[in-house]
Amino acid sequence: MAKEQVKTDVEVNIGERFPLTIRRLGVNGHGIGYYKHKVCFVPGALPGEVVVAEVTRIHPRFLEATIHRIRKRSRHRVTPRDSYTNVAGGFELESLAYPQQLAFKRQVVLDSLAKFQPYGYRNYDVRRTIAAPEEYHYRNKAQFQVRMVDGHVAAGLYKPNSHNLVDMQECAVQMPRTMKAVRTVVQLIEDLQIPVYDEDHNSGIIKTIVVRESWTTGELQLTLITNTPKLIHKRPLLEAIAQQLPEVVSVMQNVNPGDTPLVWGEQMIHLAGKETITESLMGLDFELSARSFLQLNPEQTEVLYEQAAEALELAPEDTLIDAYAGIGTIGLSLASRVKAVRGMEVIPEAVADANANAKLNGIANAQYEVGKAEELIPRWLDEGLQFDALVVDPPRTGLDDELIKQILRVKPRKFAYVSCGMASLARNLRRLTSVYHVDYIQPIDMMPQTARCEAVVKLSLRH
């Protein structure tokens, strides 16, 4: 192997091997050890293990390495079900026993609090992580890139920090029927010789296969994300899908031309069947269009929403604002407990879905508008709306700065923060705790075998 040296305060080469004691797990689930006082990240290595690490990348402040072999094995190490563990993303913790995965996710919350130090953080009640009912087969959506690998059509996920595709024949965290649909469609694309996307030449047609399964109805929706609107051999492809995959009740095409980091494009084409599938949560039906956001673990989503309801302590006379509302799943599931729900979302299609879902379920006291919470809340207040309760479920980047200003100005009495990013949560709490007290933080495991964590925070006004 060719030696490569990067200017650093530690003399080390790519390919060099050394013993390394793993001290803890990092926020992304990678083992962390120290080589000559320099941090070294080793995917798949577990706390307490001694590994022979092989350096793969050198950075000014840290090293990356793989496990060459394990000298001392953790008693919490288990045999992963997926052969892709530490090869592709999405399986970071699959070698770690599940009780320790839950403990790790609580520790991520504690570490984030210690880093950003919001007011009073040492005394926060950070509860034990709520386990998922199923450790495998829970993901309701497969979103796999499609490329040619060794002369065959391949579909799967990229290796970390690369565009090298791992062809996934099976995947233990996916609902089984999503994988059956992916593999069937891959074979049809190959049999019909439909050109797949070539990044080097920006040519070919099919870029990505997306399959979503309804947990309650068993319906599948298939979306082909393509480089061009033209889809050759479309008719025989759709006929074969109808014959071989009768559970696919909706087939859509999304056009996303060119070399872009974005998975989805703006143009949607309805190819066959319905335009939506139906999912049920909290006793309500939700129509899901291809681009609708829904939590990947539907069974645990009900637990998440119930935790949000408990944190809010809603009363029949309350008016609830549902910020970052998506298709309305949280607000609509709580509508029967309050006088009114008002929600907002910046994606027009999601707002249309939210209002349609309200109508579908006969919910007359909930309405959703297109716009940012930090802009709509002041307008609603000017129009005379008074609200008692606020639930936010922002993206991983956390709350918008302007929304935080609005919250601190309006001071809603009941406030629940649903977070999928513990660092942004802790950072936001630094500002929110100038007015609010953190009653508790409840971590919830939505995605077993991964390093991802969700949490519900109950906040109350300081007296």
Q: Is 453 a catalytic residue?
A: no
Residue 73 pLDDT: 98
* CB 210, CB 222: distance < 8 Å: yes
> How far, in Å, are 14, 52, 413, 432, 457 from residue 429 at the CA level?
40, 40, 16, 5, 10
Half-sphere exposure of 388 (CA within 13 A, CB side): 12
Please give the average per-residue pLDDT across 346-371, as a whole number: 95
Q: How confident is the model at residue 2 (pLDDT cuts 50, 70, 90)?
A: very low
Q: Is the pLDDT of residue 256 over 90?
A: yes
Q: Look at residue 339 and give its three-state secondary structure.
A: coil
Residue with tokens 């049999």: 191
Residues 54/57/63/64 CA torsion (nearest 10 deg): -60
Which secondary structure element, helix H or strand E, spans residue 121, and what is its range?
Answer: none
Residue 10 pLDDT: 67
Q: How confident is the model at residue 7 (pLDDT cuts 50, 70, 90)?
A: very low
Which secondary structure element, helix H or strand E, spans residue 308, and what is its range?
Answer: helix 298-312
* CB 351, CB 370: distance < 8 Å: yes
Phi, psi angle pair for 198, to nearest 5°: -115, 110
Q: Is the pLDDT of residue 449 over 80?
A: yes
**% helix / strand / coil in the chain, to the nearest 5?**
25, 35, 40
Residue 84 pLDDT: 81
* CB 136, CB 313: distance < 8 Å: no
Question: Cα–chain-centroid distance for residue 307?
Answer: 18
The pTM of this model reads: 0.93
Q: Is the pLDDT of residue 381 over 70?
A: yes
Least-confidence region, from 76-80, 291-295, 430-434: 291-295
Roughly how many angstroms between the first and final C-alpha of the chain, as a whole number? 65
Q: Is the pLDDT of residue 414 over 70?
A: yes
pLDDT tens by residue, 76-116: 999 999 888 878 878 899 999 999 999 999 999 999 999 99
- Cβ contacts of 11 within 8 Å, gap of 6 or more: none
Q: Look at residue 450 and give its three-state secondary structure.
A: coil
* CB 320, CB 338: distance < 8 Å: yes
Nearest-5° Cα angle at 349, 388 to 284:
60
pLDDT tens by residue, 300-312: 999 999 999 999 9
Distance CA 328, CA 444 (A): 20
Query: For the chain, what is the radius of gyration of the CA atoms?
Result: 24
pLDDT tens by residue, 11-36: 899 999 999 999 999 999 999 999 99
Distance CA 146, CA 346 (A): 30
* CB 316, CB 364: distance < 8 Å: no
Residue 3 pLDDT: 43
Q: Is the pLDDT of residue 397 over 60?
A: yes
Residues 392/405/343/346 CA torsion (nearest 10 deg): -90
* CB 343, CB 320: distance < 8 Å: no
Question: Cα–chain-centroid distance for residue 213?
Answer: 16
Q: Which of 40, 171, 420, 453 is catalytic?
A: 420
Distance CA 318, CA 338 (A): 5
Mean pLDDT, the chain, whole residue set: 94
Residue with tokens 């939700």: 286
